[in-house]
């Protein structure tokens, strides 16, 4: 059964090479390959030539292991951090395997994108996220507007490649976000599937907790 | 190996909900592995994982589903703060059955409530200390303990009571990282020459692999994560005149994938569904 998300992905792939996060997905004779964009550019200066020189994997579940550690062996809890390792290629047989591999590299990204394209992705405003925290994170509800906005600006960029769909509230956007952090104008801008953030993550909430507590202790 | 206990549900999806970790790479591994195994079994149209501390989150994972019926099984070692407060809040659940955005979400019992937990616990103890006479051993079932919800401590205590009733071990205790009886007091809590510690956790992650060994005195500081070391453990550890054996976490047993499926079957039974 091919669902809507896979159909949307197939349509996007039918238009040529795709960029998502730090990787390129492109068609080959046998199906598709996924590799780091920097390796794609390095191979023969042509993004259309398949990459025989890199260690290859044919099991889409290998993607999860590729995304797990950075080049220094440090764990990557945030998969959209700009620290994906280079030096590998995933060689896959069909769109289903491409979807599974992208799930391993960027968990949830295709669902977020497909939902956003249809207008069905409901972002959660930052204040709503903070107001429902419990336990040790409850204090984040006391973040001022300035603290919230400045923390988002410094913590979420360039540390995360996701474009932010939420505002501080339903009416108030996060102020002064750079253009790479706001939703793109089109579903598939320049052959790129955008990584999208539909809600502040636990890492941002933890960072805000530190900001609020250090202000309270001054 | 997955032995199906329910008829295939090609129009339904399974969501394995787990904690994950921002600091340890092995915390979510069992959930992903169970999802892979269950996906291969073909029992569900879709199988995904959602996490509290990793991606996809409990809330955003629903964007990835296409099925109209989603079974959610918490991959948690007990009912408690996460299964009773966090997951229902984050997933906007209204109890066992939620109708939301044209979908039906069926919230199952966590794997920790499954009756096979005892059998798997005993298997973990046996694997850690093969050949050690259980009549000369103290079994410590070691959980987190938290002030936020007492059910998680209760689950470890219940397993200790069940196994104590079997009269296989010289002593059986439940111990905790953060509440009494503390696992760090193991040497005064027990008398047997052999002590077998089974981490009452879903994975060999931060607490079970890195923190508890320090509390036991096996390590002076937290080691690297399990997946970043060459050897899992070097049992036994000779400490304070005893032989201490430290098991792999309960939840990293592949049998937990069967428990996930069983909790879906149990949900259907409890809610009178006939397929």
Task: Tell me, rounded to whole angstroms, the distance of Cα A1 from its chain centroid.
Answer: 26
Q: So what's the pLDDT on residue A189?
A: 63
Is there a contact between B60 and A198 (Cβ–Cβ < 8 Å)? yes
Q: So what's the pLDDT on residue B229?
A: 81
- Chain A residues whose beta carbon lies within 8 Å of the beta carbon of residue B57: 108, 199, 201-202
pLDDT at A30 over 90: no
pLDDT at A97 over 50: yes
Q: Which of A68, A108, A203 sits opposite B56 (nearest CB)?
A: A108
Q: How confident is the model at residue A121 (pLDDT cuts 50, 70, 90)?
A: confident
Q: Is B100 on the interface with A (CB under 8 A)?
A: no
Q: How confident is the model at residue A27 (pLDDT cuts 50, 70, 90)?
A: very high
Q: So what's the pLDDT on residue B275?
A: 45
How far is the C-alpha of A72 from the C-alpha of A11, rounded, in Å? 36
Q: How confident is the model at residue A48 (pLDDT cuts 50, 70, 90)?
A: very low
Q: Is B60 on the interface with A (CB under 8 A)?
A: yes
Q: At what angle do helices B256-270 and B29-41 cross, to 10 degrees?
A: 70
Q: Is B54 on the interface with A (CB under 8 A)?
A: yes
Mutation target to probe the B interface, by most B beta carbons within 10 A, among A1, A66, A111 is: A111
- Chain A residues whose beta carbon lies within 8 Å of the beta carbon of residue B32: 64
Q: Is B132 helix (H, G, I), strand (E, B) or coil?
A: coil
| Residues B64, A135: C-beta atoms closer than 8 Å | no
Q: At what angle do helices A202-216 and A145-155 cross, to 10 degrees?
A: 130
| Residues B59, A69: C-beta atoms closer than 8 Å | no
Q: How confident is the model at residue B4 (pLDDT cuts 50, 70, 90)?
A: low
Closest residue, chain B, to A70 (C-alpha)? B25
Q: What is the mean pLDDT of residues A180-205?
A: 88
Report the gap between the CA of A44 and the closest CA in chain B (Å). Answer: 34
Bridge partners, residue B139, by sequence: B172, B196
| Residues B59, A198: C-beta atoms closer than 8 Å | yes
Q: Which of B10, B20, B64 sits opposite A110 (nearest CB)?
A: B64
Q: What is the mean pLDDT of residues A123-148?
A: 95
Report the gap between the CA of B53 and the closest CA in chain A (Å). Answer: 6
Q: What is the mean pLDDT of residues A53-74?
A: 94
Residue of B46 and B230 predicted with greater confidence: B46
Closest residue, chain A, to B66 (C-alpha)? A3
Q: pLDDT digits over B72-102, tens only?
A: 999 999 888 899 999 999 999 999 999 988 9
Residue of B141 and A118 predicted with greater confidence: B141
* pLDDT above 90 as % of chain A: 78
Q: How confident is the model at residue A2 (pLDDT cuts 50, 70, 90)?
A: low
Instruction: Residue B275: name the closest of B27, B11, B1 by CA.
Output: B11
Task: Tell me, rounded to whole angstroms, the distance of Cα A128 from its chain centroid.
Answer: 22
pLDDT at A47 over 60: no
Q: Is A192 helix (H, G, I), strand (E, B) or coil?
A: strand
pLDDT at B5 over 80: no
How far is the C-alpha of B266 from the C-alpha of B66, rounded, in Å? 24
Bridge partners, residue B245, by sequence: B196
ipTM: 0.92
Q: Is B65 on the interface with A (CB under 8 A)?
A: yes
Q: What is the mean pLDDT of residues B103-123?
A: 95
How far is the C-alpha of A155 from the C-alpha of B226, rounded, in Å? 29
């Amino acid at each position: 059964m091919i669902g809507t998300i896979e159909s949307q992905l197939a349509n996007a792939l039918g238009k040529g090479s795709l960029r998502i996060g730090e990787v390129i997905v492109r068609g080959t004779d046998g199906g598709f390959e996924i590799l780091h964009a920097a390796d794609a550019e390095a191979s023969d200066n042509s993004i259309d030539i398949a990459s025989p020189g890199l260690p290859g994997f044919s099991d889409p579940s290998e993607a999860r292991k590729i995304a797990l550690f950075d080049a220094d062996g440090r764990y990557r809890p945030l998969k959209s951090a700009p620290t994906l390792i280079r030096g590998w290629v995933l060689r896959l047989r069909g769109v289903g395997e491409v979807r599974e591999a992208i799930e391993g590299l960027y968990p949830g990204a295709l669902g977020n994108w497909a939902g956003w394209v249809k207008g069905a992705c409901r972002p959660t405003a930052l204040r709503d996220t903070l107001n429902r925290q419990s336990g040790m994170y409850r204090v984040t509800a006391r973040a001022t507007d300035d603290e919230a906005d400045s923390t988002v600006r410094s913590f979420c960029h360039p540390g995360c490649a996701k474009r932010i769909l939420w505002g501080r509230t339903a009416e108030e956007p996060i102020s002064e976000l750079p253009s790479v952090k706001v939703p793109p104008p089109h579903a598939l801008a320049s052959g790129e599937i955008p990584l999208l953030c539909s809600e502040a993550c636990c890492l941002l909430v933890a960072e805000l907790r530190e900001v609020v507590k250090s202000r309270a202790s001054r | 190996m997955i032995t199906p206990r329910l008829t295939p549900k090609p129009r339904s999806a399974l969501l394995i909900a787990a904690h994950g970790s921002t600091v340890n790479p092995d915390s979510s591994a069992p959930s992903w592995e169970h999802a892979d195994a269950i996906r291969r079994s073909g029992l569900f149209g879709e199988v995904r994982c959602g996490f509290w501390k990793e991606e996809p989150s409990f809330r955003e994972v629903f964007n990835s589903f296409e099925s109209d019926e989603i079974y959610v099984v918490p991959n948690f070692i007990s009912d408690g703060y996460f299964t009773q407060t966090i997951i229902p809040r984050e997933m906007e659940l209204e109890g066992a059955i939620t109708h939301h955005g044209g979908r039906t979400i069926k919230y199952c019992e966590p794997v920790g409530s499954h009756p096979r937990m005892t059998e798997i616990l005993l298997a973990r103890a046996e694997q850690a200390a093969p050949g050690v006479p259980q009549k000369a051993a103290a079994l410590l079932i070691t959980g987190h303990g938290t002030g936020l919800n007492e059910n998680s401590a209760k689950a470890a205590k219940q397993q200790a009571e069940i196994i104590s009733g079997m009269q296989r071990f010289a002593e059986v205790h439940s111990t905790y990282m953060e509440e009494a009886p503390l696992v760090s007091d193991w040497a005064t809590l027990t008398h047997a020459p052999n002590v077998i510690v089974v981490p009452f956790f879903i994975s060999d992650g931060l607490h079970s692999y890195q923190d508890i060994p320090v509390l036991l005195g096996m390590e002076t500081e937290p080691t690297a994560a399990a997946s970043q070391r060459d050897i899992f453990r070097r049992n036994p550890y000779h400490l304070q005149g005893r032989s201490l054996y430290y098991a792999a976490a309960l939840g990293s047993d592949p049998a937990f994938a069967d428990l996930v499926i069983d909790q879906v079957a149990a949900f259907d039974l409890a809610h009178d569904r006939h397929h």
